[in-house]
């Protein structure tokens, strides 16, 4: 297995723009849900070494990460594409 190390960027609206929208407490944002019905699922995770072997692809859904406590998390994203899986070089990591 090939190991790739990714630098972790701080998430700002500008840095994250190619991948999605950053929501914050200072304002609001309008989202086009395409006629879909929003739903919410909660998850709890524990601190552990960070590594992954595959990525989920959301072609027709949106995903929101909202920490409920003063904690840090890392997400990895790639530019949207309807035709192909991302190239490894396109994957970017962000602090949430």
Read off the pLDDT of each residue in 23-31 and give the average, rounded to a whole number. Answer: 69
Domain hosting 78: range is 72-96
Q: Read off the pTM.
A: 0.73
Q: Is residue 86 part of a domain?
A: yes
Query: Which residue do the tokens 């990460």 mark?
Result: 65
Q: What are the pLDDT digits (tens) for 32-91?
A: 777 878 777 777 777 778 888 888 887 777 777 777 777 778 889 998 877 778 888 889
Q: For the chain, how many structural domains are there in total?
A: 1
Q: Is residue 42 part of a domain?
A: no
- DSSP letters for 63-76: -----SSS---EEE
Q: Where are the beta strands (DSSP E) in 1-96?
A: 8-10, 74-77, 92-95
**Cβ pair 10, 16 in contact under 8 A:** no
pLDDT exceeds cutoff 80 at 4: yes
């Amino acid at each position: 297995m090939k190991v790739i190390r990714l630098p972790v960027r701080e998430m700002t609206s500008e840095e994250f723009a190619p991948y999605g929208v950053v929501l914050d407490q200072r304002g609001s944002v309008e989202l086009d849900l395409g006629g879909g019905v929003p739903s919410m699922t909660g998850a709890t995770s524990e601190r552990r070494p960070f590594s992954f072997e595959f990525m989920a692809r959301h072609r027709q859904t949106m995903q929101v990460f909202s920490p409920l406590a003063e904690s840090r998390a890392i997400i990895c994203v790639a530019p949207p594409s309807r035709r192909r899986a991302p190239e490894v070089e396109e994957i970017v990591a962000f602090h949430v």
